[in-house]
Chains A and B, each alone.
Chain A
């Protein structure tokens, strides 16, 4: 395995699930701040890396100060696993992700609430995250309160999705597929993540690409059916987030976060 990404010396792998690899690297001297390690998220593979186009969004996202967002350092293009990729480094130490962590359903809901607050902070700064999924909720401290959001996906939500991988298609708002992304798209993704974390099923049937593709056409016209095994409060919130009509979804991610916290407390 390669042990370098750009000029970062990779010293460990937090998670490499094929969706959003998270690595630990030595802090390059040029960044200052002394020795230590940084976290790196690998977005990609991106053969047509739109890093330049996403520059403004990434800068705006990094300027947001929130306990639910990492302290991002820089974004760059490089090569990882023999593929061209875009990566984002952060000073925040990460120990795992919501997708891989062995947490109770209650803790997962609370961790997702923290991520939703991070999404809301981004929205207020004009940034659509566009990549919320179980792999994008990182654990940066004692679970579940230490959850933070991984870097935003590079698509801006105003153009049709042209990259897959991160986020997985099963967690992409059909409105985003229409090039009509907005807060409501991240809220849809939080609902999809909630559903997955609690019931184990994504809004699309199966995990393979083909069923997802087949489901897309249906999802463009009809809401996903509610899973039967979800507790009622979580199911109601997830279904509302997953509404086909953006107006029928919660208006803000902050509202979703509050309801998630409430569900967590009552679990």
Chain B
């Protein structure tokens, strides 16, 4: 028999599908609310849906928090009991303590066994009074308005497995202890009883054995359609049209980025005004064996010694261009006065020569990364999947959008033609901007417009800025 789910009247939404329950406050964007509901519906019949949905959010949060102020919660079965994922200004009572991300806003995830009652509320909200006996309200399935919910032990359920996880039941200042009536009346297992296999996890730890959220397709809210089954689709911030999966994310051992927007919560952190339960240890999350590379074993295949001598400075499959060749055979820009490779002077009457195009310069991103322009570049949240990148014709510059900005999987392109560099808008929402050297403001490119870049030009898309520096004379 499923848990009883009493929805607390008010703004926000509560959705339940099978044993998976989600809540979102009004600060959550419509896109996020729709994603929560759709994913809860889709994953409700999957194994350990609580882990799957939580992990999909963790994967996104590793790159940054698209909506740090959006309160939402996920409750559903996981590998170690009931998985509770909290994000933003939200709090939960697990029958033994108040839980909330720390700092607020932030996020946290933990396993909580079956701690009836489980109360989910906006951060700082007063807990509801105990519902009367035989309260008829019970959300069986679907989506309804609600400012939170109370999950109760189903009628007739034996009390043997009931538990309070981790901390002692602690009273909440100003509230006269635990929520009135809750805890004692609904958790006869009593304080301090440990639920088998439900050890609390440090904040930010992804749970369960599910793999990377290589979601089946774009969120339907953004123009795509979700196939049934499969792992959880990652949350796609508004404006994106595809999944935003961190590079190399390994969910079972994922480590969150830190910072005000993406910091994971810690367990047992009480919201302001509530009693403070024992603090979580300040130590780092222990690595699992999967995180470690044993360097005491010999490599399976020894590497060949590195070659001695010169290396080419051309990219793979570089375009043939016409320039000036120095006496050492290095190809240079037609206007170069000395060889960029060896420094030897180039004569003014030198005959043009053709050869593979050398790198035209670098793109410097605002995160400090440097990208050689020996090939065209695709810029976006997941350009690595673009055919040009897969074929090796272009390189991927994967970035996440800046705060309050959106970036498409492939948002803009930097093309190389002869000795020139062009910025090309790819028609994504938010557009692409360019600021030439010495210019006072940004110029917005029309959809699919292309514009030649001169050295020192800044280009911007999705709230991120890259600077082009040419390797050649103007």
Contact = CB atoms under 8 A, between A and B. Distances in A.
Interface of A: 2-7, 47-53, 55-63, 72-80, 82-84, 88, 123-128, 159-165, 169, 175, 177-184, 209, 213, 216-217, 220-223, 243-248, 251-252
A5 B285 CA distance: 8
Contact of B306 (A51, A63, A178, A182): A182
B155 interface: no
B191 to A, nearest CB: 29
Interface residues of B, number: 67
A220 to B, nearest CB: 4
A128 B305 CA distance: 10
A159 to B, nearest CB: 8
B340 interface: yes
B348 interface: no
Nearest to A61: B295
B370 A77 contact: no
B156 interface: no
B62 interface: yes
Contact of A221 (B263, B467, B471): B471
A125 B283 CA distance: 37
Given A77-B253, A183-B306, A49 B295 contact: no
Interface stretch (B34-42, B220-228, B286-294): B286-294
Contacts of B452: none
B293 A51 contact: yes
A179 B246 CA distance: 23
Contacts of B255: 77-79, 84
Nearest to B62: A47
Nearest to A151: B295
Interface string B253-274: 1011110000100000000000
Interface stretch (B11-19, B127-135, B146-154, B356-364): B356-364
B342 A88 contact: no
Interface string B292-313: 1111111111111111111111
B293 A83 contact: no
Contacts of A79: 255, 284-285
Nearest to B305: A124
A48 B246 contact: yes
Contacts of A78: 255, 284-287, 291
Contacts of A182: 306-307, 311
Contact of A74 (B294, B330, B343, B470): B294
Contact of A184 (B311, B342, B370, B467): B311
B247 interface: yes
Contacts of B297: 59
A181 B313 CA distance: 10
Given A59-B299, A75-B292, A82 B309 contact: no
B287 A48 contact: no
Contact of B469 (A47, A50, A217): A217
28 contacts: A6-B291, A7-B286, A47-B63, A49-B248, A52-B248, A56-B303, A59-B293, A62-B296, A63-B298, A77-B255, A78-B291, A82-B263, A83-B257, A124-B305, A124-B306, A125-B302, A126-B305, A160-B372, A164-B368, A180-B313, A213-B469, A220-B469, A220-B471, A222-B340, A245-B341, A246-B310, A247-B309, A248-B342
B316 to A, nearest CB: 9
Nearest to B472: A221
Contacts of A222: 338, 340, 343
Contacts of B341: 244-245
B305 A125 contact: yes
A2 B282 contact: yes
Contacts of A73: 294-296
A47 B313 contact: no
Given A72-B295, A217-B469, A220-B340, 5 more contacts: A76-B293, A127-B303, A169-B368, A183-B308, A220-B469
Contacts of B340: 220-222, 244
A183 B372 CA distance: 19
A74 B298 contact: no
Contacts of B257: 47, 83-84
Contacts of B315: 179
Given A4-B284, A175-B311, A217 B455 contact: yes
A182 to B, nearest CB: 5
Given A162-B369, A178-B313, A58 B293 contact: yes
Nearest to B64: A47
Contact of A163 (B283, B364, B369, B374): B369
A4 B364 contact: no
Contacts of A53: 248
A63 B311 CA distance: 26
Given A77-B255, A180-B312, A217 B361 contact: yes
A177 B291 contact: no
Contact of B362 (A51, A184, A220): A220
B415 interface: no
A112 B343 CA distance: 28
Contacts of A223: 343
B421 to A, nearest CB: 13
Contacts of B296: 62, 72-74
B309 A3 contact: no
B155 to A, nearest CB: 44
A164 B312 CA distance: 24
B371 interface: yes
Nearest to A214: B469
A183 B283 CA distance: 39
B210 interface: no
A224 to B, nearest CB: 12
Contacts of A83: 257-258
Given A83-B258, A123-B306, A178 B295 contact: no
Contacts of B311: 175, 180-182, 184, 246
A251 B310 CA distance: 9
B253 A247 contact: no
Contacts of B291: 6, 76-78
Task: Please indicate which of the listed interface residues B296, B304, B340 has the most CB atoms of chain A within 10 Å of its own CB.
Answer: B296
A247 B21 CA distance: 64
Given A6-B284, A62-B295, A175 B471 contact: no
Given A74-B292, A126-B306, A244-B341, A161 B369 contact: yes
Contact of B309 (A59, A75, A88, A251): A251
Contacts of A57: 303
A209 B365 CA distance: 12
B371 A88 contact: no
Nearest to A122: B306
